[in-house]
């Protein structure tokens, strides 16, 4: 190359004297005209074939020619033409001496040909649909960088026209580079991607106006649930299949050694449930993209370690008086460039990690949701809804944290080793003292991390937090029962018991964490103290100069990061392992077997020799079952409570464990469960259930299911929204909607689990005639009907009699009677009663109303949004005059507040802590940072200490002072951290208590219009944020604010001129913070709001999984779940990108300050000492990071203080009256008589609406038995609501034993009267707790009540007797048994007033008769009000009240009313009682 250049009259390729050892460095002309020109060209020509091949393999569709592309082509051809002009000019002008100009001849032609190649690649990219090219971007950057050196030289030397041409090329290159516009990431340029400029548009929009959901971008395809989960599901299924093959192969190999086989299978099952397989599947899916982030962090570390080396060179330059100034400027610039590259690679790594974390969250949520649709009943009972919600909230968050911090587990030790290696280079063997210190610190923090992980994960999350969330879920599901029985305080105590244990474990964890933080923050001092101490004590000639001190301190500051990250990374990894095990255990739990039910072309339903159980172990629930159902027949299934009727239908659906036999079902299936499962959607959506609306058929179904009269009184007809779990529908309405859903389906086989149990007699007759009967819409379908009633049995083609899980008899009605068996005896027993009650047997025991005691009149009066109690604030005009399109709306969507968090939220948070604690904490922080400032300045003075005879004086004293200041700082750090942790616990305890009280004291209307997912989200995610995130954010923010003050003081003390830079920077940062925080907080709110529907949908799906499976709607529900998760991720994605945008841009500005500070130090070389420069520059290097962390930690605090705002939302909602009234003179035995008096009583559901009860005046005497009857919506249940003050009086009064019930506390009232409501709700806990939560009755009294409720035999046979553990919702008891438990509650309380709402809702005839006689004998001396739907139960009552449109239309004894031939007579005639 030298000879080639010499031929053209140029210098050699490289000359050190010209490049390095000079005051004016420059590159040789040969280097400029060859290497700098050829390098970009060689890069493009070498890699172009591979890039073209890549484009050929990845076609994204042609992009139309744009103005920008046209401009690029024109400018490109101009560039190429300049090169050709230069080539021909030299060729013509220097043709005689061409050999002497080969360098100048070759360079322009190579350059021009390369530009033409670049233009061809631009067109190829356009054709193949590539919008952003990293390949060409690097070429243009390389070309510009290589052009800068010749450009500078040619401008300086004022060269001829060649300079002009070269300048033209550089300018055009820069124009190409800057023509990219910032845009969302899909179309962003390479530069925009690495600097996150594509995000700027959203930040600007968020600063101008609060962001709304519609302002957010849609997810990229690779981030969507559908894309992620569909691919992951295949991998996960393959993993599970491999495991099964492994198990089968091992089993076959073992042969007859059954114990070994069982042991191996158990081991494999344990391995699978450990989460290892889940982890492996996730790694395969997301590992490659994660590795690109790992590569970025490796580059980041390389640049991070280069900075102290450059600092060392800079300080060496300051000490060398003869060094030329350009070297100082060079080092300052190099430090700036390395800092910029470090920032870029660090934030690309973080962006990659958060993207992977987001995808992992989507994947795990999808897998858990899909699993919940296929999990079998035995596995389902081991995990409650609350625990499943925890899997998709807390555990997915742990996995996301693991993705971010995993690399620190292996990278941190490498960083520590490198730091110690460089320290060895500076301090020699003294660095071993640092290693020793690290070795001593590590075990301590390892023990702390392990103990804290054990406390936090096992104690808080798994045990107490899960227990609290599970209990809250049950409270929200059974809130109606709690209010009727005045049990709120008992369950409040249980929740607070869990909470106290949770906080106690959290407190221990936080104290351990404080020790950990104190040791980490002091670790840099301890290492420095050990190394400097050993270094100066080792030899008197070992002196600490500025270079050794500040380069060592810079390395120790680097060392601090891995030291702090490693234990946190280990802790996060351990938590992730636990979460993976929990997720693995759930995802590997047993599923419903596909072969439980097989399809057949023959008869519709066949079970041959079937034995079924709800789990693999334990006694079977059905045995020796043989059923053959011909096509189009009506089959009735009868039997006592708990005989296995519902289990038989479950076996036909494949929901039970098939132990032997064969089940075949032909065609599609529709299922009506015993307890109607209703979605939080409109009536129409519930009926259509994902199918297209066929108007004629839809109307026919509504008419057949007797829903048309209900639609007439609903506010928006079939567009009215139904509350969660059908809260605002009566039991009959829910059951009819559930039935209509099945009928609309036009299925082949109908499995009907007591569908007529919750409807009035005449409605039941109508439904049978129009739906099931010989002339019904299902007459040609196969119908299997479970019932307790007898009236329709003669019309059944086949009757199955179940006793203790076995079919004892089967045949037609006449055949069974002719056999004179148990069924015939049973029928004759009830047939021999009075003739007038022949119709009673017809509707006896299934014409009951599991009646939504609140919701019926809500619909009848046309409003569904809120209940207005007397003590509520007045509603606004807007509330009274609802717009028509909102008429059917019930559920309040979880809304996001807008703008910055109100100052009141901070005041509320700090007020709960108390000023007396906050002020000392601030002083403690100031003291801590003062100690830090002192020891840093002390080091600076030590470094500037003059060296006399090769030594420094008083090194012992300097070392002692340095050590004392450092130890004082460490103690202060521990004190501040513990103090803030305790303050956080104080605040979170009070805020949780306030939230709990606000929710429990809310009226029923609040629960009807607030989804339980919203409330659970407050108690789970938001409370967790207040427990941990807010205190941690405050710790970080305060520590960095005080650290910034320290740094500013040090820098200003060392170099006062830095104030010129620091002050404008402070204003700029304040502006950026306000600019960024508004957007970030709003994104946090939107993300929190969009999270609640995920949990609500999960909750709803888990409870209705059997219905969803029966109808084959799994795929539709999966799509709905995907949509909800994706909607949540649309706000989560920009939320974490916002942090990266802030950090990159702030750090670039901050790096500019480092450059300015370093250059100013170089300029002041003659007046500044090395120690001062070292102090100033090393601390200015920290300013950028500190300011960035302040903004981020402040944002974290504001983001998480949103949780305080959301928890506090319910403080201002309407509340019920006081539970108890102070100074009440209510006698303990009240009511003694049981008289009830209504005086001109009126009731309305909200102000401005028509009264639901109008001027009711009524006196009920003691011991009187009063029946209340009326059509749907007549107002009969409103009387009960009024007596219990579920709704407050709009006018008039109610007196019980002469006491105005409005003047006493709600608990004083509700605990002295009793209701047996329609829904038999039980809570998880012992049977005794469900009967007597306050533990006020003796065991003898409890057993007596169970005997009267006909449960004594059942409970006596249970292993744990009264301590038998009820599962969530009492699912391990049958519906009839649950109803008997509710009866036992009433018998135990035995108050003077009893309100009955069909106490025998789900029991058989025999038990029904016993219960009726029990009520008549045990409550003989009580006042009984029965809201009756089966008139036979009140025919012997003292009085009957007939309600009509809120008025009492008739009132007299049953006999007199029949004689009057009025409305009651007509109702009796419909029920065939007359």
For the record, the structure tokens of 1194 come out as 């402040």
Compute CA distances 381 → 387, 466, 470, 672, 1322, whole Å: 11, 15, 13, 22, 15
Task: Centre a 10 Å sphere on the Cβ of residue 285 and count the other Cβ atoms it contains.
Answer: 20
SS3 at position 1297: coil
For the record, the structure tokens of 408 come out as 């620190």
What confidence score (pLDDT) does residue 220 get?
83
Q: How confident is the model at residue 881 (pLDDT cuts 50, 70, 90)?
A: very low
For the record, the structure tokens of 87 come out as 């080539």
Q: Report the b/e string of 576-604 with b at 16+ CB within 10 A.
A: bbbbbbbbbbbbbbbebeeebbeeeeebb
What confidence score (pLDDT) does residue 40 get?
86
Place of tokens 């299922």: 671
What confidence score (pLDDT) does residue 1230 get?
84
Peptide bond into 1216 cis (omega under 30): no
What confidence score (pLDDT) does residue 873 get?
31
Q: In a 10 Å sphere around its CB, with 0-12 CB exposed, 13-18 middle and 19+ buried, how is residue 1294 labelled?
A: buried
pLDDT of 256 strictly over 50: no
- Per the CB < 8 A criterion, the answer to whether 737 and 729 are in contact is yes
- List the beta bridge partners of residue 752: 672, 785
* Closest to 30 (Cα-Cα) out of 60, 46, 10: 10
SS3 at position 659: strand
What confidence score (pLDDT) does residue 1250 get?
74
**Rounded-to-integer distance, Cα 520 and Cα 500, Å:** 30
| 793-807, 1164-1178, 1455-1469: the lowest-pLDDT one | 1164-1178
pLDDT single digits (tens) 1181-1217? 777 677 767 777 877 787 778 788 888 888 878 888 8
Half-sphere exposure of 1320 (CA within 13 A, CB side): 24
| 80-84, 832-836, 1307-1311: the lowest-pLDDT one | 832-836
What confidence score (pLDDT) does residue 645 get?
85
What confidence score (pLDDT) does residue 2 get?
61
pLDDT of 1410 strictly over 60: yes
Enumerate residues 6+ apart whose C-beta is below 8 A from 1049. 933
pLDDT of 1224 strictly over 60: yes
Mean pLDDT computed over 867-884 = 32
How far out from the chain centre does Cα 628 lie? 47
pLDDT single digits (tens) 1007-1060? 877 877 778 888 887 888 888 888 888 888 888 888 888 877 877 776 677 677
pTM: 0.68
What confidence score (pLDDT) does residue 740 get?
92
pLDDT single digits (tens) 763-813? 777 888 888 888 888 888 889 988 876 777 888 888 888 888 888 888 888
pLDDT of 849 strictly over 50: no
Mean pLDDT computed over 1128-1132 = 87
What confidence score (pLDDT) does residue 1367 get?
78
**Rounded-to-integer distance, Cα 457 and Cα 539, Å:** 50
* Closest to 280 (Cα-Cα) out of 584, 540, 550, 64: 584
Q: How confident is the model at residue 166 (pLDDT cuts 50, 70, 90)?
A: very low
**Rounded-to-integer distance, Cα 1426 and Cα 1300, Å:** 22
Enumerate residues 6+ apart whose C-beta is below 8 A from 376. 589, 590, 591, 592, 593, 655, 657
What confidence score (pLDDT) does residue 866 get?
31
pLDDT of 251 strictly over 70: no
Sign of CA dihedral 1284, 1287, 1288, 1290: negative
| DSSP class per residue in 1069-1102 | HHHHHHHHHHHHHHHHHHHHHHHHHHHHHHHHHH
Calculated CA dihedral for residues 118, 119, 120, 123, nearest 10 degrees: 120
pLDDT single digits (tens) 1075-1097? 787 788 788 778 878 887 888 88
**Rounded-to-integer distance, Cα 1138 and Cα 662, Å:** 59
**Rounded-to-integer distance, Cα 519 and Cα 526, Å:** 9
Mean pLDDT computed over 548-559 = 83
What confidence score (pLDDT) does residue 743 get?
92
Q: How far apart are the first and last CA of the chain?
A: 120
Helices 225-254 + 276-319 axis angle, to 10: 120
For the record, the structure tokens of 1463 come out as 């409305």
For the record, the structure tokens of 94 come out as 């220097």
| 1-15, 142-156, 716-730, 1271-1285: the lowest-pLDDT one | 1-15
For the record, the structure tokens of 196 come out as 């996150």
Long-range contacts of 943-951 (CB under 8 A, 24+ apart): 943/544, 943/545, 943/546, 943/548, 943/549, 943/550, 943/1170, 943/1171, 943/1174, 944/546, 944/1169, 944/1170, 944/1171, 944/1172, 947/543, 947/545, 950/540, 950/541, 950/543, 951/540, 951/541, 951/543
Q: What is the 3-state secondary structure (H, E, C) of 1178-1217?
A: HHHHHHHHHHHHHHHHHHHHHHHHHHHHHHHHHHCCCCCC
Compute CA distances 306 → 340, 410, 820, 1247, whole Å: 12, 21, 98, 73
What confidence score (pLDDT) does residue 1057 get?
72
pLDDT of 941 strictly over 70: yes
Identify which has the larger pLDDT, 1398 or 177: 1398
For the record, the structure tokens of 658 come out as 């098939």
- Per the CB < 8 A criterion, the answer to whether 614 and 497 are in contact is no
**Rounded-to-integer distance, Cα 1394 and Cα 1413, Å:** 15
Helices 1170-1207 + 276-319 axis angle, to 10: 150
Sign of CA dihedral 1459, 1465, 1468, 1470: positive
What confidence score (pLDDT) does residue 349 get?
92
pLDDT of 539 strictly over 80: no
pLDDT of 526 strictly over 70: yes
**Rounded-to-integer distance, Cα 1210 and Cα 101, Å:** 85
pLDDT single digits (tens) 454-487? 665 554 555 777 788 888 888 888 888 888 888 8
Query: Quick one: what percent of the chain has pLDDT higher than 90?
Result: 2
What is the overall mean pLDDT for the chain? 78
pLDDT single digits (tens) 946-996? 776 667 777 788 888 888 888 888 888 888 888 888 888 888 888 888 888
pLDDT single digits (tens) 643-678? 888 888 888 888 888 888 888 888 888 999 888 888
Mean pLDDT computed over 1438-1442 = 89
pLDDT of 892 strictly over 80: no
Calculated CA dihedral for residues 977, 978, 981, 985, nearest 10 degrees: -170
What confidence score (pLDDT) does residue 7 get?
59
pLDDT single digits (tens) 1241-1252? 888 776 666 778
pLDDT of 52 strictly over 70: yes
pLDDT single digits (tens) 389-425? 778 878 888 888 888 888 888 898 898 888 888 888 8
**Rounded-to-integer distance, Cα 301 and Cα 237, Å:** 39
Q: In a 10 Å sphere around its CB, with 0-12 CB exposed, 13-18 middle and 19+ buried, how is residue 95 labelled?
A: exposed
pLDDT single digits (tens) 1262-1284? 888 888 888 766 777 788 888 88
Q: Report the b/e string of 634-649 with b at 16+ CB within 10 A.
A: bbbbbbbbbbbbbbbb
SS3 at position 92: helix
Calculated CA dihedral for residues 501, 505, 507, 510, nearest 10 degrees: -160
pLDDT single digits (tens) 1331-1342? 888 888 888 888
Sign of CA dihedral 1404, 736, 1013, 1132: positive
What confidence score (pLDDT) does residue 164 get?
35
- Per the CB < 8 A criterion, the answer to whether 343 and 1188 are in contact is no
Place of tokens 């390479």: 190
pLDDT of 369 strictly over 60: yes
pLDDT of 863 strictly over 70: no
Sign of CA dihedral 616, 622, 626, 628: negative
pLDDT of 1391 strictly over 50: yes
């Amino acid at each position: 190359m030298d000879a080639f250049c010499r031929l053209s009259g140029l210098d050699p390729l490289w000359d050190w004297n010209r490049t390095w050892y000079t005051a004016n460095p420059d590159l040789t002309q040969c280097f400029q005209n060859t290497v700098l020109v050829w390098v970009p060209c060689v890069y493009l020509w070498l890699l172009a074939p591979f890039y073209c091949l890549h484009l050929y393999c990845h076609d994204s569709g042609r992009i139309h020619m744009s103005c920008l592309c046209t401009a690029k082509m024109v400018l490109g051809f101009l560039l190429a033409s300049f090169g050709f002009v230069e080539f021909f000019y030299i060729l013509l002008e220097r043709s005689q001496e061409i050999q002497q100009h080969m360098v100048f001849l070759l360079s322009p032609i190579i350059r021009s040909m390369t530009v033409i190649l670049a233009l061809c690649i631009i067109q190829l990219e356009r054709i193949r649909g590539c919008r952003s090219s990293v390949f060409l971007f690097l070429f243009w950057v390389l070309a510009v960088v290589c052009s800068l050196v010749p450009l500078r030289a040619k401008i300086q030397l004022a060269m001829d026209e060649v300079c002009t041409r070269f300048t033209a090329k550089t300018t055009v290159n820069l124009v190409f580079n800057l023509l990219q516009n910032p845009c969302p990431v899909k179309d962003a340029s390479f530069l925009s991607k690495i600097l996150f400029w594509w995000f700027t548009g959203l930040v600007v929009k968020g600063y101008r106006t609060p962001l709304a959901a519609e302002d957010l971008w849609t997810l990229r395809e690779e981030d969507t649930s559908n894309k992620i989960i569909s691919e992951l599901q295949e991998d996960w299924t393959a993993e599970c299949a491999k495991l099964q093959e492994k198990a089968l192969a091992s089993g076959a190999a073992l042969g007859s050694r059954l114990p070994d086989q069982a042991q191996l299978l158990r081991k494999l099952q344990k391995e699978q449930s450990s989460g290892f397989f889940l982890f492996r599947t996730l790694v395969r899916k997301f590992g490659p993209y994660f590795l690109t982030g790992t590569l970025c962090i490796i580059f980041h570390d390389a640049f991070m370690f280069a900075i102290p080396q450059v600092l060392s060179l800079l300080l060496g330059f300051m000490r060398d008086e003869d060094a030329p100034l350009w070297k100082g400027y060079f080092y300052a610039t190099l430090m700036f460039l390395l800092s910029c590259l470090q920032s870029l690679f660090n934030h690309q790594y973080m962006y990659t990690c958060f993207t992977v974390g987001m995808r992992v969250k989507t994947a795990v949520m999808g897998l858990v949701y899909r699993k919940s649709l296929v999990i079998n009943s035995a596995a389902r009972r081991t995990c409650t809804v609350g625990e499943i919600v925890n899997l998709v909230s807390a555990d997915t968050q742990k996995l996301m944290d693991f993705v971010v911090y995993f690399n620190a587990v292996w990278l941190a030790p490498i960083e520590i080793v490198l730091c110690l290696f460089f320290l060895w280079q500076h301090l020699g063997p003294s660095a071993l003292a640092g290693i020793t210190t690290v070795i001593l610190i590590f075990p301590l923090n390892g023990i702390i991390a392990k103990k804290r992980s054990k406390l936090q994960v096992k104690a808080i999350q798994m045990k107490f937090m899960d227990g609290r969330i599970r209990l809250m879920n049950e409270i929200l599901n059974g809130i109606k029962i709690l209010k009727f029985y005045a049990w709120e305080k008992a369950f409040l105590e249980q929740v607070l018991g869990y909470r106290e244990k949770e906080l106690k474990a959290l407190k221990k964890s936080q104290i351990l964490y404080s020790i950990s933080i104190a040791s980490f923050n002091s670790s840099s001092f301890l290492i420095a103290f050990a190394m400097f101490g050993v270094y100066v004590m080792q030899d008197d000639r070992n002196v600490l100069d500025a270079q050794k001190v500040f380069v060592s301190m810079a390395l120790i500051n680097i060392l601090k990061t891995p030291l702090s990250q490693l234990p946190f990374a280990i802790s996060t990894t351990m938590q992730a392992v636990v979460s993976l095990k929990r997720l693995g255990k759930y995802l590997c739990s047993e599923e419903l077997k596909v072969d439980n039910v097989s399809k057949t072309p023959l008869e519709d339903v066949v079970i041959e020799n079937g034995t079924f159980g709800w789990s693999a172990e334990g006694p079977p629930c059905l045995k020796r079952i043989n059923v053959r159902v011909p096509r189009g027949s009506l089959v009735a299934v009868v039997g006592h409570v708990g005989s296995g009727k519902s289990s038989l239908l479950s076996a036909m659906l494949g929901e039970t464990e098939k132990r032997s036999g064969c089940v075949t079902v032909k065609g599609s299936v529709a299922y009506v469960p015993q307890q109607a499962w209703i979605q939080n959607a409109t009536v129409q959506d519930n009926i259509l259930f994902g199918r297209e609306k066929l108007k004629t058929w839809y109307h026919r179904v509504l008419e057949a299911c007797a829903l048309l009269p209900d639609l007439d009184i609903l506010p928006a007809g079939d567009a009215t929204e139904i509350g969660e779990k059908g809260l605002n529908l009566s039991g009959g309405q829910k059951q009819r909607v559930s039935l209509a859903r099945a009928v609309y389906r036009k299925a082949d086989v109908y499995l009907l689990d007591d569908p007529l149990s919750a409807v009035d007699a005449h409605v039941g007759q109508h439904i049978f005639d129009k739906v099931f009967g010989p002339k019904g819409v299902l007459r040609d379908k196969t119908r299997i009907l479970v019932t307790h009633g007898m009236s329709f049995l003669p019309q059944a083609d086949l009757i199955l009699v179940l006793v203790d899980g076995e079919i004892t008899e089967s045949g037609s009605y006449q055949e069974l009677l002719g056999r004179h068996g148990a069924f015939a005896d049973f029928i004759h027993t009830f047939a021999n009663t009075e003739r007038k009650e022949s119709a009673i047997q017809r509707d006896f025991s299934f014409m009951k109303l599991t009646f939504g005691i609140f919701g019926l009149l809500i619909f009848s009066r046309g409003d569904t949004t809120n209940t207005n109690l007397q003590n509520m604030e007045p509603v606004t005009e807007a509330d009274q005059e609802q717009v028509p399109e909102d008429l059917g709306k019930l559920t309040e969507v979880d809304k996001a507040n807008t703008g910055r968090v109100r100052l009141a939220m901070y005041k509320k948070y700090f007020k709960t802590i108390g000023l007396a604690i906050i002020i000392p904490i601030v002083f403690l922080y100031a003291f801590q940072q003062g100690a830090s400032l002192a020891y840093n300045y002390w080091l600076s003075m030590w470094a500037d200490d003059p060296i006399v005879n090769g030594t420094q004086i008083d090194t012992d004293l300097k070392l002692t002072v340095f050590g004392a200041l450092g130890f004082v700082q460490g103690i202060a750090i521990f004190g501040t951290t513990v103090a803030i942790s305790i303050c956080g616990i104080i605040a979170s305890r009070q805020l949780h208590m306030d939230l709990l009280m606000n929710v429990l004291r809310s009226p029923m209307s609040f629960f009807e219009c607030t989804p339980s997912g919203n409330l659970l989200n407050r108690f789970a995610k938001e409370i967790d944020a207040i427990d941990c995130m807010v205190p941690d954010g405050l710790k970080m923010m305060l520590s960095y604010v005080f650290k910034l003050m320290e740094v500013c003081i040090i820098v200003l003390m060392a170099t006062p001129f830095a104030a010129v830079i620091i002050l404008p920077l402070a204003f700029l940062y304040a502006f950026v913070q306000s600019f960024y925080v508004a957007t970030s907080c709003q994104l946090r709110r939107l993300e929190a709001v969009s999270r609640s529907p995920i949990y609500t949908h999960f909750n709803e799906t888990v409870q209705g999984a059997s219905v969803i499976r029966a109808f084959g709607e799994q795929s539709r529900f999966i799509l709905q779940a995907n949509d909800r998760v994706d909607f949540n991720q649309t706000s989560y994605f920009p939320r974490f990108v916002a942090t990266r945008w802030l950090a990159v841009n702030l750090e670039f500005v901050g790096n500019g300050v480092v450059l300015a500070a370093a250059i100013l130090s170089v300029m002041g070389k003659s007046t500044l000492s090395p120690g001062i420069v070292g102090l100033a520059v090393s601390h200015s290097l920290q300013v950028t990071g500190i300011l960035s962390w302040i903004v981020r930690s402040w944002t974290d605090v504001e983001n998480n203080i949103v949780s305080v705002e959301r928890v506090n939302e319910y403080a201002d909602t309407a509340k019920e009256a006081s539970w108890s009234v102070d100074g009440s003179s209510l006698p303990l035995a009240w009511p003694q008589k049981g008289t009830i008096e209504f005086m001109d009583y009126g009731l309305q559901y909200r102000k401005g609406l028509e009264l639901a009860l109008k001027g009711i005046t009524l006196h009920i005497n003691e011991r009187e038995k009063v029946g209340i009857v009326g059509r749907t919506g007549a107002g009969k249940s409103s009387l009960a609501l009024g007596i219990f003050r579920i709704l407050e009086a709009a006018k008039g009064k109610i007196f019980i034993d002469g006491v105005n019930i409005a003047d006493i506390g709600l608990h004083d009232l509700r605990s002295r009267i009793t209701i047996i409501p329609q829904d038999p709700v039980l809570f998880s806990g012992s049977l005794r707790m469900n009967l007597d939560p306050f533990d006020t009755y003796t065991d003898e009294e409890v057993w007596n009540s169970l005997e009267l409720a006909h449960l004594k035999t059942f409970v006596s046979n249970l292993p744990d007797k009264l301590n038998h553990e009820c599962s969530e919702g009492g699912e391990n008891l049958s519906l009839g048994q649950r109803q008997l438990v509710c009866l036992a509650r009433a018998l135990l309380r035995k108050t003077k007033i009893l309100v009955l709402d069909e106490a025998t809702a789900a029991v058989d005839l025999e038990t029904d008769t016993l219960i009726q006689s029990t009520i008549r004998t045990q409550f003989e001396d009580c006042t009984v009000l029965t809201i009756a739907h089966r008139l036979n139960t009140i025919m012997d009552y003292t009085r009957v009240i007939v309600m009509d449109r809120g008025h009492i239309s008739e009132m007299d004894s049953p006999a007199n009313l029949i004689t009057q031939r009025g409305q009651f007579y007509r109702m009796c005639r419909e029920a065939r009682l007359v």
